[in-house]
Chains A and B, each alone.
Chain A
Amino acid sequence: MEIWRLPISASQRGKLISAGYTSLSSLSSISSSDLARELKVSESEAMNILKVASHSRGSETSNASCSIVEGAQSAWDMLHDEESLMHITTSSADLDNILGGGIHCKEVTEIGGVPGIGKTQLGIQVAVNVQIPNDFGGLGGKAIYIDTEGSFMVERAFQIAEACIEDMSEYNRFLRKDFQECKIKMLPQDILENIFYFRICSYTEQIALINYLDKFLSEHKDVKVIVVDSVTFHFRQDFDDMALRTRVLSGMALKLMNLAKRFSLAVVLLNQVTTKHTEASFQLALALVTVLDLCSVTMLSR
């Protein structure tokens, strides 16, 4: 029964099946007002159902083009795309080395560590470094900072922004050796202006925000990094239904990967650690790691 495959609500599906519409072709020749009358739903709902059905059917038309599926890319093209993707530096040469040049775009990077080790500082640094202009080897993009713990300090971000600008002018002086022309026109205030800050107080807000980011990113195409600090904080306590927690987290991880891929941006997740008992020894492990099975994961330790 092809109606199972349509992304519509359970009650709409039930009504369609009990009225006899079990395949997509049966929905092809009916108008929305007739459908509304048969199913006893509003006309706008009926129009929605028909739109979803025709979209699914539209992808059935024969594909004469060379790609097997719409939107697929050949491995050869992907190889060359990856070579031209830029990285976001973390301002630490060793860390950049481990990450293969910096934080990669189109990928989700998870960074974890014990409390007090510097994860939030790293998050703020990345949100500032993404704004380094193209001339200086950066991406020149904006940042989204999602704060779940309340650990973002604006004064600290201001200090980091000032230091970054000083670094850039130092580099400038070193390379170009003229003071007048290439004075950095950026001010710390500009850098702070380009960080979009969201404060989250519960897990429902977190899920709602990630769903909203789709629309936000279509309007702000120059955002190049999303920092979530920290991603599992609201999921660790007060969750009664463990199965629901797993489902919600894996759905959220998929949505973040989707955003990273579609908008070519980097997603940085900061996570806490927990101790895991394996083979009679204790080990530090990232919280809820079995759920978030992501790309590159880095553990910070002293």
Chain B
Amino acid sequence: MARLANLETEYPVLDSTVRNFCASHGIFSVEDFLIHDLYMLAAFAEQNNSSERLKEGIAQVLSIIDDMHQPWLNGMELLEDAKRNKHVFPTGIQGIDLLLGGGIRVGQLTELVGPSSSGKTQVCLRTASNVARNHLVLYLDTGNSFSPQRIAYFLGKTINPSSAQAKNQFLQKVMSNISCHSVFDMFAMFDVLHQLESYLRCQDGRGGCQMRLLIVDSISSLISPVLGSSSTQGRALMTSAGYLLKKLAHQHNLAVLIINHTVGGEGGYSKPALGDSWKCIPHSRLFLSCDRGSNNYNVSILRHPSMASGKAARFVI
């Protein structure tokens, strides 16, 4: 939101008298205006010499603010939007799809939590290979865990190879839909999400193959180095990243899948990392674990908007 000084060119009402009056109350930008008590401000304006000017200025700023909020939607419009845009993408793993009633939902942030080697990256790769058949996928990799061979293996399992060349063409077509980018710190991640936002805004206008899945593997390794030090910037970065991901998911009809790891909790049980502030940010949270020495994995629901938590299932990759 702009500083009041910058708005003067567009709205000449906000001249220096208005600005000096606001500055005397500690208001320098439109945002400060929102935090302030407006009745008190109006009362002070009354007592001032050029009260008419000041009241006009205040009214102008309020009208600017009115233009800035998101449009109101009623229940029917939301239902329309849900039916038309918010589909469900199957992950390709039977156990998980049955548990979630179809798969991961567009417009929601789904989190996979689990100790190391519990299959989180494998589930993401499998989902990416499934969704990439018809849509674009962006995979943000923080630990060099993206493996194109694995994607090729998953795709190879699902088709009947009529000829090596046909199989090659199919692989090329699907794998070109998956883009992978490595990010190694939180600020680079924000840059990438910023670029993604402008890409998605252009995409909404045109047709063709659209991006529908964003995977972040893993968000905890980006946030852990900045979280917990004496300043609160780490937590601010974490929550603003979470809100940005949810906003992208809802406004541009993306399914977002993120990976988190676990830390030791009380009593020796492992609990998800990133603490209580992160707990309420993802829409759904799934806890993965692996039976030692075998290919069997367990998944249980920690949180889901439409299903009871505690339900569990097993799956094999």
Interface residues of A (CB under 8 A from B): 1, 4-7, 10, 13, 19-23, 25-26, 29, 56, 59-64, 67-76, 78-79, 82, 106-108, 243-244, 246-248, 250-251, 253-255, 257-258, 260-261, 290, 293-295
Binary A-proximity of B148-161 (CB < 8 A = 1, otherwise 0): 11011000000000
A89 CB → nearest B CB, Å: 21
- Cross-chain contact A69 with B144 (CB below 8 angstroms): no
| Residues in A neighbouring B229, C-beta threshold 8 A | 244, 247
- B28 located at the interface, meaning its Cβ lies under 8 Å from any Cβ of chain A in the complex: yes
In whole angstroms, how far apart are the Cα atoms of A281 and B198 in the complex?
A: 54
Other-chain residue from B32, B181, B237 in contact with A20 (beta carbon distance below 8 A) = B32
B277 CB → nearest A CB, Å: 15
In whole angstroms, how far apart are the Cα atoms of A1 and B199 in the complex?
A: 21
In whole angstroms, how far apart are the Cα atoms of A56 and B186 in the complex?
A: 13
In whole angstroms, how far apart are the Cα atoms of A79 and B6 in the complex?
A: 50
Interface residues of B (CB under 8 A from A): 1-4, 6, 28-29, 31-32, 116, 132, 136, 138-139, 142-146, 148-149, 151-152, 171-172, 175-182, 184-185, 187, 190-192, 194-196, 198-199, 202, 211, 221-222, 224-229, 231, 233, 236-237, 240, 261
In whole angstroms, how far apart are the Cα atoms of A4 and B235 in the complex?
A: 11
- Cross-chain contact B6 with A72 (CB below 8 angstroms): no
- Cross-chain contact A26 with B29 (CB below 8 angstroms): yes
B23: nearest chain-A partner, CB-CB: A20
- Cross-chain contact A67 with B179 (CB below 8 angstroms): yes
| Residues in A neighbouring B181, C-beta threshold 8 A | 69, 71-73
In whole angstroms, how far apart are the Cα atoms of A232 and B122 in the complex?
A: 29
Other-chain residue from A7, A22, A63, A75 in contact with B29 (beta carbon distance below 8 A) = A22
| Residues in A neighbouring B187, C-beta threshold 8 A | 5-7
Top-8 shortest CB links A-B: A20-B28, A79-B148, A251-B225, A76-B175, A75-B178, A72-B181, A72-B179, A258-B184
Listed A/B pairs (29) with beta-carbon separation below 8 Å: A4-B236, A4-B237, A4-B240, A5-B187, A22-B29, A26-B6, A56-B191, A63-B199, A69-B196, A70-B195, A72-B180, A72-B181, A74-B176, A74-B177, A74-B180, A75-B148, A75-B151, A76-B175, A78-B146, A79-B149, A246-B224, A247-B228, A247-B229, A250-B221, A250-B225, A255-B184, A257-B143, A260-B144, A261-B144
- Cross-chain contact B184 with A60 (CB below 8 angstroms): no
In whole angstroms, how far apart are the Cα atoms of A243 and B132 in the complex?
A: 39
B117 CB → nearest A CB, Å: 10
Other-chain residue from B1, B116, B175, B190 in contact with A74 (beta carbon distance below 8 A) = B175
| Residues in A neighbouring B226, C-beta threshold 8 A | 247
In whole angstroms, how far apart are the Cα atoms of A56 and B197 in the complex?
A: 13
In whole angstroms, how far apart are the Cα atoms of A70 and B194 in the complex?
A: 11
A62 CB → nearest B CB, Å: 6
- Cross-chain contact B192 with A250 (CB below 8 angstroms): no
In whole angstroms, how far apart are the Cα atoms of A184 and B219 in the complex?
A: 50
Known A7-B187, A63-B202, A75-B148; judge A254-B225 contact (CB<8 A): yes
A294: nearest chain-B partner, CB-CB: B143
A54 CB → nearest B CB, Å: 13
| Residues in A neighbouring B142, C-beta threshold 8 A | 254, 257
In whole angstroms, how far apart are the Cα atoms of A59 and B195 in the complex?
A: 6
In whole angstroms, how far apart are the Cα atoms of A261 and B185 in the complex?
A: 14
- Cross-chain contact A69 with B145 (CB below 8 angstroms): no
- Cross-chain contact A82 with B148 (CB below 8 angstroms): yes
B22 CB → nearest A CB, Å: 10
- Cross-chain contact B6 with A29 (CB below 8 angstroms): yes
In whole angstroms, how far apart are the Cα atoms of A265 and B85 in the complex?
A: 44
B221 CB → nearest A CB, Å: 6
- Cross-chain contact B198 with A62 (CB below 8 angstroms): yes
In whole angstroms, how far apart are the Cα atoms of A137 and B31 in the complex?
A: 63
Known A62-B198, A71-B181; judge A293-B143 contact (CB<8 A): yes
| Residues in A neighbouring B179, C-beta threshold 8 A | 67-69, 72-75
| Residues in B neighbouring A59, C-beta threshold 8 A | 191, 194-195
In whole angstroms, how far apart are the Cα atoms of A220 and B177 in the complex?
A: 36
- Cross-chain contact B199 with A68 (CB below 8 angstroms): yes
| Residues in B neighbouring A64, C-beta threshold 8 A | 202
B225 CB → nearest A CB, Å: 4
